[in-house]
Structure 1
Amino acid sequence: MISKSVFENQFVIRNAKLEDVIQMEYVQSQCYPTLHESEILNRKHFANHIKIFPEGQIVVENEGKVIASASTFRCNFPEHDSTFLEETDNLWLTNVQVPDGDWLYGIDMGVLPEYRGLGLSKELYKARHDVCKSLGITGQIIAGMTIGYGKVKDKMTIAAYCEALEKKEFTDPTITPQRNAGFIWIRALYNYINDPEAGYASVLMYYPVDENYSL
Protein backbone atom coordinates (compact mmCIF):
# COMPACT_ATOMS: atom_id res chain seq x y z
CA MET A 1 0.00 0.00 0.00
CA ILE A 2 1.12 3.56 -0.72
CA SER A 3 1.79 6.31 1.81
CA LYS A 4 4.54 8.84 1.23
CA SER A 5 5.16 12.56 1.61
CA VAL A 6 6.38 14.75 -1.24
CA PHE A 7 7.50 18.36 -1.74
CA GLU A 8 8.96 18.87 1.72
CA ASN A 9 6.08 17.01 3.37
CA GLN A 10 3.52 19.49 2.03
CA PHE A 11 1.53 16.71 0.34
CA VAL A 12 0.81 13.09 1.20
CA ILE A 13 0.25 10.52 -1.53
CA ARG A 14 -1.64 7.49 -0.28
CA ASN A 15 -4.19 4.87 -1.21
CA ALA A 16 -7.76 6.10 -1.28
CA LYS A 17 -10.19 5.18 1.49
CA LEU A 18 -13.96 4.96 1.43
CA GLU A 19 -14.18 8.16 3.44
CA ASP A 20 -12.42 9.99 0.59
CA VAL A 21 -15.02 9.33 -2.10
CA ILE A 22 -17.04 12.54 -1.67
CA GLN A 23 -13.89 14.64 -2.01
CA MET A 24 -12.75 12.53 -4.96
CA GLU A 25 -16.09 13.22 -6.63
CA TYR A 26 -15.52 16.94 -6.14
CA VAL A 27 -12.04 16.74 -7.70
CA GLN A 28 -13.55 14.94 -10.68
CA SER A 29 -16.24 17.59 -11.14
CA GLN A 30 -13.66 20.37 -11.17
CA CYS A 31 -11.23 18.69 -13.55
CA TYR A 32 -13.45 17.75 -16.48
CA PRO A 33 -15.87 20.60 -17.21
CA THR A 34 -16.46 19.61 -20.86
CA LEU A 35 -16.70 15.84 -20.36
CA HIS A 36 -20.19 14.42 -20.83
CA GLU A 37 -21.95 13.69 -17.54
CA SER A 38 -22.29 10.02 -18.48
CA GLU A 39 -18.50 9.69 -18.27
CA ILE A 40 -17.92 11.57 -15.01
CA LEU A 41 -16.95 9.39 -12.06
CA ASN A 42 -19.01 9.84 -8.91
CA ARG A 43 -18.66 8.73 -5.29
CA LYS A 44 -20.35 5.37 -5.95
CA HIS A 45 -17.93 4.58 -8.76
CA PHE A 46 -14.94 5.50 -6.59
CA ALA A 47 -16.26 3.37 -3.72
CA ASN A 48 -16.55 0.36 -6.03
CA HIS A 49 -13.04 0.89 -7.38
CA ILE A 50 -11.68 0.89 -3.81
CA LYS A 51 -13.63 -2.28 -3.08
CA ILE A 52 -12.37 -4.30 -6.04
CA PHE A 53 -8.80 -2.97 -6.37
CA PRO A 54 -7.75 -0.89 -3.34
CA GLU A 55 -4.04 -0.89 -4.26
CA GLY A 56 -4.74 0.96 -7.49
CA GLN A 57 -6.78 3.89 -6.16
CA ILE A 58 -4.61 6.83 -5.08
CA VAL A 59 -5.18 10.31 -3.68
CA VAL A 60 -3.04 13.33 -2.84
CA GLU A 61 -3.85 14.99 0.47
CA ASN A 62 -2.99 18.51 1.60
CA GLU A 63 -3.81 19.52 5.17
CA GLY A 64 -6.46 16.82 5.41
CA LYS A 65 -8.07 17.71 2.08
CA VAL A 66 -8.03 15.48 -1.02
CA ILE A 67 -6.77 17.69 -3.84
CA ALA A 68 -5.99 15.04 -6.48
CA SER A 69 -6.88 11.45 -7.28
CA ALA A 70 -6.07 8.65 -9.71
CA SER A 71 -8.08 5.54 -10.55
CA THR A 72 -6.80 2.31 -12.10
CA PHE A 73 -7.62 -1.33 -12.73
CA ARG A 74 -5.63 -4.42 -13.66
CA CYS A 75 -6.05 -5.85 -17.15
CA ASN A 76 -4.40 -7.73 -19.96
CA PHE A 77 -3.07 -5.64 -22.81
CA PRO A 78 -5.99 -4.23 -24.86
CA GLU A 79 -5.83 -5.86 -28.27
CA HIS A 80 -8.80 -4.01 -29.72
CA ASP A 81 -9.94 -0.39 -29.62
CA SER A 82 -12.91 0.43 -27.43
CA THR A 83 -14.66 3.45 -25.98
CA PHE A 84 -13.99 4.85 -22.52
CA LEU A 85 -17.29 3.44 -21.23
CA GLU A 86 -16.61 0.02 -22.74
CA GLU A 87 -13.07 -0.07 -21.38
CA THR A 88 -14.21 0.82 -17.87
CA ASP A 89 -17.39 -1.28 -17.61
CA ASN A 90 -19.45 1.93 -17.67
CA LEU A 91 -17.10 3.41 -15.03
CA TRP A 92 -17.64 0.61 -12.48
CA LEU A 93 -14.60 -1.60 -13.37
CA THR A 94 -16.29 -4.68 -11.89
CA ASN A 95 -16.31 -6.75 -15.09
CA VAL A 96 -12.99 -5.54 -16.53
CA GLN A 97 -10.77 -5.96 -13.47
CA VAL A 98 -8.43 -8.93 -14.06
CA PRO A 99 -6.94 -9.96 -10.69
CA ASP A 100 -3.74 -11.29 -12.29
CA GLY A 101 -3.63 -8.85 -15.21
CA ASP A 102 -0.22 -7.83 -16.55
CA TRP A 103 -1.03 -4.13 -16.97
CA LEU A 104 -2.27 -1.27 -14.82
CA TYR A 105 -4.83 0.75 -16.78
CA GLY A 106 -5.10 4.33 -15.58
CA ILE A 107 -8.63 5.52 -16.32
CA ASP A 108 -8.56 8.81 -14.48
CA MET A 109 -6.23 11.38 -12.97
CA GLY A 110 -7.33 14.76 -11.72
CA VAL A 111 -5.65 17.60 -9.83
CA LEU A 112 -7.70 20.54 -8.57
CA PRO A 113 -6.98 23.58 -10.79
CA GLU A 114 -5.46 25.62 -7.98
CA TYR A 115 -2.83 22.91 -7.38
CA ARG A 116 -1.74 22.40 -10.98
CA GLY A 117 1.76 23.20 -12.16
CA LEU A 118 3.40 21.74 -9.06
CA GLY A 119 4.27 18.37 -10.52
CA LEU A 120 1.62 16.38 -8.67
CA SER A 121 0.52 14.45 -11.75
CA LYS A 122 4.06 13.23 -12.26
CA GLU A 123 4.19 12.14 -8.61
CA LEU A 124 0.94 10.22 -9.13
CA TYR A 125 2.42 8.44 -12.15
CA LYS A 126 5.42 7.52 -9.98
CA ALA A 127 3.08 6.19 -7.29
CA ARG A 128 1.27 4.09 -9.88
CA HIS A 129 4.65 2.76 -11.03
CA ASP A 130 5.33 1.76 -7.43
CA VAL A 131 2.06 -0.21 -7.50
CA CYS A 132 3.22 -1.96 -10.67
CA LYS A 133 6.53 -2.89 -9.09
CA SER A 134 4.99 -4.16 -5.87
CA LEU A 135 2.44 -6.32 -7.69
CA GLY A 136 4.76 -7.52 -10.45
CA ILE A 137 2.82 -5.72 -13.18
CA THR A 138 4.50 -5.01 -16.54
CA GLY A 139 3.58 -1.32 -16.57
CA GLN A 140 0.93 1.33 -17.01
CA ILE A 141 -1.49 1.93 -19.85
CA ILE A 142 -3.42 5.16 -20.34
CA ALA A 143 -5.70 6.78 -22.89
CA GLY A 144 -4.60 10.40 -22.66
CA MET A 145 -7.21 12.98 -23.61
CA THR A 146 -6.27 15.29 -26.49
CA ILE A 147 -7.65 18.18 -24.49
CA GLY A 148 -5.69 20.85 -26.36
CA TYR A 149 -7.59 20.16 -29.57
CA GLY A 150 -10.35 22.57 -28.58
CA LYS A 151 -8.09 25.54 -29.25
CA VAL A 152 -7.37 24.51 -32.85
CA LYS A 153 -10.50 22.60 -33.82
CA ASP A 154 -11.49 25.25 -36.36
CA LYS A 155 -8.12 24.92 -38.10
CA MET A 156 -7.49 21.18 -38.33
CA THR A 157 -9.07 17.75 -37.94
CA ILE A 158 -8.51 15.67 -34.85
CA ALA A 159 -6.58 13.18 -37.02
CA ALA A 160 -4.18 15.91 -38.17
CA TYR A 161 -3.86 17.10 -34.57
CA CYS A 162 -2.91 13.63 -33.37
CA GLU A 163 -0.42 13.18 -36.21
CA ALA A 164 1.25 16.47 -35.27
CA LEU A 165 1.36 15.42 -31.61
CA GLU A 166 2.92 12.09 -32.51
CA LYS A 167 5.66 13.95 -34.36
CA LYS A 168 6.00 16.37 -31.42
CA GLU A 169 5.36 19.35 -33.68
CA PHE A 170 3.53 21.11 -30.85
CA THR A 171 2.38 20.44 -27.31
CA ASP A 172 -0.86 19.36 -25.66
CA PRO A 173 -1.73 20.14 -22.00
CA THR A 174 -2.34 16.46 -21.28
CA ILE A 175 -0.49 14.35 -23.84
CA THR A 176 2.83 16.21 -23.68
CA PRO A 177 3.25 15.95 -19.87
CA GLN A 178 2.31 12.28 -20.06
CA ARG A 179 4.99 11.62 -22.66
CA ASN A 180 7.46 13.64 -20.61
CA ALA A 181 6.61 11.42 -17.65
CA GLY A 182 7.71 8.36 -19.65
CA PHE A 183 4.65 7.22 -21.58
CA ILE A 184 5.22 5.86 -25.10
CA TRP A 185 2.83 6.50 -27.98
CA ILE A 186 0.89 3.48 -29.28
CA ARG A 187 -1.96 4.89 -31.39
CA ALA A 188 -4.71 7.47 -31.45
CA LEU A 189 -8.17 6.37 -30.32
CA TYR A 190 -10.88 8.19 -32.25
CA ASN A 191 -14.43 8.36 -30.87
CA TYR A 192 -13.08 7.16 -27.52
CA ILE A 193 -14.48 9.75 -25.14
CA ASN A 194 -17.47 12.08 -25.15
CA ASP A 195 -15.66 15.39 -24.88
CA PRO A 196 -15.89 17.88 -27.78
CA GLU A 197 -12.88 19.88 -26.59
CA ALA A 198 -10.79 16.73 -26.97
CA GLY A 199 -12.25 16.04 -30.41
CA TYR A 200 -13.77 12.90 -28.85
CA ALA A 201 -10.31 11.34 -29.05
CA SER A 202 -7.51 10.10 -26.83
CA VAL A 203 -4.07 8.57 -27.32
CA LEU A 204 -3.27 5.06 -26.12
CA MET A 205 0.15 4.97 -24.45
CA TYR A 206 2.15 2.66 -22.23
CA TYR A 207 4.90 3.07 -19.65
CA PRO A 208 6.75 -0.16 -18.79
CA VAL A 209 8.49 -0.76 -15.50
CA ASP A 210 11.45 -2.22 -17.38
CA GLU A 211 12.81 0.63 -19.51
CA ASN A 212 14.14 -1.93 -22.01
CA TYR A 213 10.68 -3.41 -22.59
CA SER A 214 8.93 -2.68 -25.88
CA LEU A 215 5.70 -3.86 -27.46
Structure 2
Amino acid sequence: MIKKDILNNEFHVRNATVEDAVQMEYVQKQCYPTLHELELMNRNHFINHIKIFPEGQIVVEKDGIVVGSASTMRSFFPIADKTYLETTDNLWITNAHVPDGDWMYGIDMGVLPEYRGLGLSREMYLVRQEVCKSLGLKGQIIAGMTIGYGRVKDKMTIEEYCYTLEIKKFTDPTVTPQKKAGFRWIKPLYNHINDPEAGYASILMYFPVDVDYKI
Protein backbone atom coordinates (compact mmCIF):
# COMPACT_ATOMS: atom_id res chain seq x y z
CA MET A 1 0.00 0.00 0.00
CA ILE A 2 1.12 3.54 -0.76
CA LYS A 3 1.93 6.03 1.98
CA LYS A 4 4.39 8.79 1.18
CA ASP A 5 5.12 12.21 2.68
CA ILE A 6 6.00 14.90 0.12
CA LEU A 7 6.90 18.60 -0.08
CA ASN A 8 8.49 18.90 3.35
CA ASN A 9 5.89 16.55 4.84
CA GLU A 10 3.16 19.11 4.20
CA PHE A 11 1.27 16.77 1.87
CA HIS A 12 0.73 13.02 1.95
CA VAL A 13 0.17 10.63 -0.95
CA ARG A 14 -1.65 7.40 -0.21
CA ASN A 15 -4.09 4.88 -1.62
CA ALA A 16 -7.67 6.08 -1.70
CA THR A 17 -10.27 4.51 0.58
CA VAL A 18 -14.05 4.45 0.25
CA GLU A 19 -14.17 7.14 2.94
CA ASP A 20 -12.41 9.50 0.50
CA ALA A 21 -15.04 9.16 -2.23
CA VAL A 22 -17.06 12.25 -1.31
CA GLN A 23 -13.97 14.45 -1.30
CA MET A 24 -12.75 12.89 -4.56
CA GLU A 25 -16.10 13.80 -6.10
CA TYR A 26 -15.58 17.40 -4.97
CA VAL A 27 -12.08 17.51 -6.48
CA GLN A 28 -13.50 16.21 -9.75
CA LYS A 29 -16.15 18.92 -9.97
CA GLN A 30 -13.67 21.69 -9.15
CA CYS A 31 -11.10 20.49 -11.66
CA TYR A 32 -13.33 20.02 -14.69
CA PRO A 33 -15.95 22.79 -14.76
CA THR A 34 -16.51 22.53 -18.53
CA LEU A 35 -16.65 18.75 -18.74
CA HIS A 36 -20.12 17.38 -19.51
CA GLU A 37 -21.92 16.19 -16.40
CA LEU A 38 -22.27 12.67 -17.83
CA GLU A 39 -18.48 12.40 -17.89
CA LEU A 40 -17.88 13.64 -14.36
CA MET A 41 -17.15 10.90 -11.84
CA ASN A 42 -19.16 10.85 -8.66
CA ARG A 43 -18.58 9.19 -5.30
CA ASN A 44 -20.10 5.91 -6.45
CA HIS A 45 -17.73 5.68 -9.39
CA PHE A 46 -14.75 6.24 -7.11
CA ILE A 47 -15.97 3.64 -4.63
CA ASN A 48 -16.25 1.11 -7.44
CA HIS A 49 -12.73 1.91 -8.67
CA ILE A 50 -11.35 1.37 -5.17
CA LYS A 51 -13.09 -1.98 -4.88
CA ILE A 52 -11.94 -3.19 -8.31
CA PHE A 53 -8.34 -1.93 -8.39
CA PRO A 54 -7.37 -0.53 -4.96
CA GLU A 55 -3.64 -0.29 -5.77
CA GLY A 56 -4.32 2.13 -8.61
CA GLN A 57 -6.46 4.71 -6.81
CA ILE A 58 -4.48 7.55 -5.20
CA VAL A 59 -5.18 10.70 -3.22
CA VAL A 60 -3.07 13.59 -1.96
CA GLU A 61 -4.13 15.06 1.35
CA LYS A 62 -3.19 18.06 3.44
CA ASP A 63 -4.30 18.31 7.05
CA GLY A 64 -6.69 15.42 6.48
CA ILE A 65 -8.34 17.05 3.46
CA VAL A 66 -8.12 15.47 -0.01
CA VAL A 67 -6.69 18.08 -2.40
CA GLY A 68 -5.88 15.80 -5.34
CA SER A 69 -6.82 12.39 -6.65
CA ALA A 70 -5.98 9.99 -9.45
CA SER A 71 -7.92 7.01 -10.76
CA THR A 72 -6.57 4.17 -12.89
CA MET A 73 -7.30 0.72 -14.19
CA ARG A 74 -5.27 -2.08 -15.73
CA SER A 75 -5.36 -2.49 -19.48
CA PHE A 76 -3.57 -3.89 -22.46
CA PHE A 77 -1.99 -1.39 -24.83
CA PRO A 78 -4.88 0.29 -26.70
CA ILE A 79 -5.07 -0.37 -30.41
CA ALA A 80 -8.51 1.04 -31.24
CA ASP A 81 -9.89 4.55 -30.89
CA LYS A 82 -12.52 4.77 -28.19
CA THR A 83 -14.29 7.63 -26.50
CA TYR A 84 -13.62 8.39 -22.86
CA LEU A 85 -16.88 6.75 -21.81
CA GLU A 86 -16.18 3.67 -23.94
CA THR A 87 -12.66 3.37 -22.52
CA THR A 88 -13.85 3.58 -18.92
CA ASP A 89 -17.05 1.52 -19.13
CA ASN A 90 -19.10 4.69 -18.63
CA LEU A 91 -16.78 5.70 -15.76
CA TRP A 92 -17.37 2.52 -13.74
CA ILE A 93 -14.34 0.52 -15.11
CA THR A 94 -16.11 -2.73 -14.16
CA ASN A 95 -15.91 -4.17 -17.66
CA ALA A 96 -12.93 -2.07 -18.77
CA HIS A 97 -10.42 -3.06 -16.09
CA VAL A 98 -8.35 -6.07 -17.18
CA PRO A 99 -6.98 -7.86 -14.09
CA ASP A 100 -4.00 -9.23 -16.00
CA GLY A 101 -3.49 -6.17 -18.16
CA ASP A 102 0.15 -5.16 -18.43
CA TRP A 103 -0.36 -1.36 -18.55
CA MET A 104 -1.84 1.10 -16.07
CA TYR A 105 -4.40 3.29 -17.82
CA GLY A 106 -4.79 6.63 -16.05
CA ILE A 107 -8.41 7.67 -16.46
CA ASP A 108 -8.45 10.68 -14.16
CA MET A 109 -6.15 13.04 -12.30
CA GLY A 110 -7.06 16.30 -10.62
CA VAL A 111 -5.71 18.82 -8.12
CA LEU A 112 -7.84 21.52 -6.53
CA PRO A 113 -7.16 24.85 -8.31
CA GLU A 114 -5.78 26.49 -5.17
CA TYR A 115 -3.09 23.81 -4.90
CA ARG A 116 -1.91 23.80 -8.50
CA GLY A 117 1.65 24.72 -9.36
CA LEU A 118 3.14 22.82 -6.42
CA GLY A 119 3.99 19.66 -8.33
CA LEU A 120 1.25 17.48 -6.84
CA SER A 121 0.33 15.95 -10.20
CA ARG A 122 4.00 15.18 -10.71
CA GLU A 123 4.08 13.38 -7.38
CA MET A 124 1.04 11.32 -8.30
CA TYR A 125 2.61 10.34 -11.62
CA LEU A 126 5.73 9.30 -9.73
CA VAL A 127 3.73 7.18 -7.31
CA ARG A 128 1.78 5.60 -10.16
CA GLN A 129 5.07 4.70 -11.81
CA GLU A 130 6.19 3.05 -8.57
CA VAL A 131 2.94 1.07 -8.50
CA CYS A 132 3.55 -0.03 -12.09
CA LYS A 133 6.98 -1.33 -11.15
CA SER A 134 5.70 -3.12 -8.05
CA LEU A 135 2.99 -4.87 -10.08
CA GLY A 136 5.31 -5.72 -12.95
CA LEU A 137 3.46 -3.47 -15.40
CA LYS A 138 5.06 -1.96 -18.48
CA GLY A 139 4.08 1.61 -17.63
CA GLN A 140 1.29 4.17 -17.79
CA ILE A 141 -1.10 5.17 -20.55
CA ILE A 142 -3.08 8.40 -20.48
CA ALA A 143 -5.33 10.48 -22.70
CA GLY A 144 -4.25 14.01 -21.81
CA MET A 145 -6.98 16.60 -22.30
CA THR A 146 -6.09 19.49 -24.61
CA ILE A 147 -7.27 22.02 -22.04
CA GLY A 148 -5.37 24.93 -23.61
CA TYR A 149 -7.38 24.80 -26.82
CA GLY A 150 -10.04 27.03 -25.31
CA ARG A 151 -7.63 29.97 -25.50
CA VAL A 152 -7.23 29.71 -29.27
CA LYS A 153 -10.41 27.98 -30.43
CA ASP A 154 -11.45 31.05 -32.46
CA LYS A 155 -8.14 31.00 -34.35
CA MET A 156 -7.61 27.36 -35.32
CA THR A 157 -9.18 23.93 -35.44
CA ILE A 158 -8.44 21.32 -32.80
CA GLU A 159 -6.53 19.35 -35.46
CA GLU A 160 -4.28 22.36 -36.07
CA TYR A 161 -3.85 22.87 -32.33
CA CYS A 162 -2.76 19.27 -31.79
CA TYR A 163 -0.22 19.65 -34.60
CA THR A 164 1.26 22.77 -32.96
CA LEU A 165 1.65 20.77 -29.75
CA GLU A 166 3.33 17.93 -31.58
CA ILE A 167 5.94 20.25 -33.14
CA LYS A 168 6.22 22.16 -29.84
CA LYS A 169 5.10 25.48 -31.31
CA PHE A 170 2.47 25.86 -28.59
CA THR A 171 2.34 24.67 -25.01
CA ASP A 172 -0.69 23.21 -23.28
CA PRO A 173 -1.22 23.38 -19.49
CA THR A 174 -1.95 19.64 -19.35
CA VAL A 175 -0.31 17.94 -22.33
CA THR A 176 3.02 19.80 -22.29
CA PRO A 177 3.91 18.97 -18.64
CA GLN A 178 2.92 15.36 -19.29
CA LYS A 179 5.30 15.17 -22.24
CA LYS A 180 8.08 16.79 -20.23
CA ALA A 181 7.47 14.26 -17.48
CA GLY A 182 8.31 11.38 -19.76
CA PHE A 183 5.05 10.57 -21.50
CA ARG A 184 5.52 9.81 -25.18
CA TRP A 185 3.13 10.99 -27.87
CA ILE A 186 1.05 8.32 -29.63
CA LYS A 187 -1.71 10.26 -31.42
CA PRO A 188 -4.57 12.71 -30.95
CA LEU A 189 -7.96 11.32 -30.03
CA TYR A 190 -10.60 13.51 -31.66
CA ASN A 191 -14.19 13.42 -30.40
CA HIS A 192 -12.86 11.61 -27.35
CA ILE A 193 -14.29 13.62 -24.48
CA ASN A 194 -17.27 15.93 -24.11
CA ASP A 195 -15.51 19.15 -23.18
CA PRO A 196 -15.77 22.08 -25.62
CA GLU A 197 -12.84 23.94 -24.05
CA ALA A 198 -10.63 20.95 -24.89
CA GLY A 199 -12.02 20.81 -28.43
CA TYR A 200 -13.52 17.43 -27.48
CA ALA A 201 -10.03 15.98 -27.88
CA SER A 202 -7.21 14.38 -25.95
CA ILE A 203 -3.68 13.16 -26.72
CA LEU A 204 -2.99 9.47 -26.23
CA MET A 205 0.43 9.00 -24.57
CA TYR A 206 2.42 6.34 -22.76
CA PHE A 207 5.17 6.36 -20.13
CA PRO A 208 7.20 3.13 -19.93
CA VAL A 209 8.72 2.13 -16.61
CA ASP A 210 12.22 2.06 -18.11
CA VAL A 211 12.16 5.86 -18.65
CA ASP A 212 13.34 8.14 -15.84
CA TYR A 213 11.02 10.88 -14.67
CA LYS A 214 12.34 14.18 -16.04
CA ILE A 215 10.64 17.01 -14.12
Shared fold per TM-score greater than 0.5: yes
Q: SS in structure 2 opposite 1:117?
A: coil
Cα distance in 2 for partners of 1:63, 1:211 equals 33
TM-score, reference length from structure 1: 0.98
Deviations 1:128-163 (A, max 9, x none): 001100000000000000000001000000000000
Q: SS in structure 1 opposite 2:187?
A: strand
Q: Which aligned segments of 4 or more residues in structure 1 are displaced greater than 4 angstroms?
A: none
- Summarize the alignment of residues 118-133 of structure 1 with structure 2, pairs less than 5 Å apart: 118-133=118-133
Q: SS in structure 2 opposite 1:172?
A: coil
- Report % sequence identity: 71
Q: Verify: 1:168 aligned to 2:168, yes or no.
A: yes
Structure 2 counterpart of 1:13: 13
Amino acid at match of 2:172: D
Deviation at 1:170, TM superposition (A): 1.3
Cα distance in 2 for partners of 1:13, 1:211 equals 22
Structure 1 counterpart of 2:158: 158
Extract unaligned runs of 5+ from structure 1.
none
Cα distance in 2 for partners of 1:44, 1:60 equals 19
Cα distance in 2 for partners of 1:211, 1:58 equals 21
Cα distance in 1 for partners of 2:139, 2:182 equals 11
Cα distance in 1 for partners of 2:119, 2:79 equals 32
Cα distance in 2 for partners of 1:108, 1:66 equals 15
- Summarize the alignment of residues 30-69 of structure 1 with structure 2, pairs less than 5 Å apart: 30-69=30-69
Structure 2 counterpart of 1:74: 74
Q: SS in structure 1 opposite 2:192?
A: coil
Deviations 1:1-33 (A, max 9, x none): 110000110000000001000000000010000
Extract unaligned runs of 5+ from structure 2.
none
Deviation at 1:211, TM superposition (A): 2.5
Deviation at 1:47, TM superposition (A): 0.1
TM-score, reference length from structure 2: 0.98
Q: SS in structure 1 opposite 2:24?
A: helix
Cα distance in 1 for partners of 2:193, 2:204 equals 12
Contact 2:76 2:102 survives alignment (8 Å): yes
- Summarize the alignment of residues 129-140 of structure 1 with structure 2, pairs less than 5 Å apart: 129-140=129-140
Contact 2:105 2:142 survives alignment (8 Å): yes
Deviations 1:65-116 (A, max 9, x none): 0000000000001110000000000000000111110100000000000000
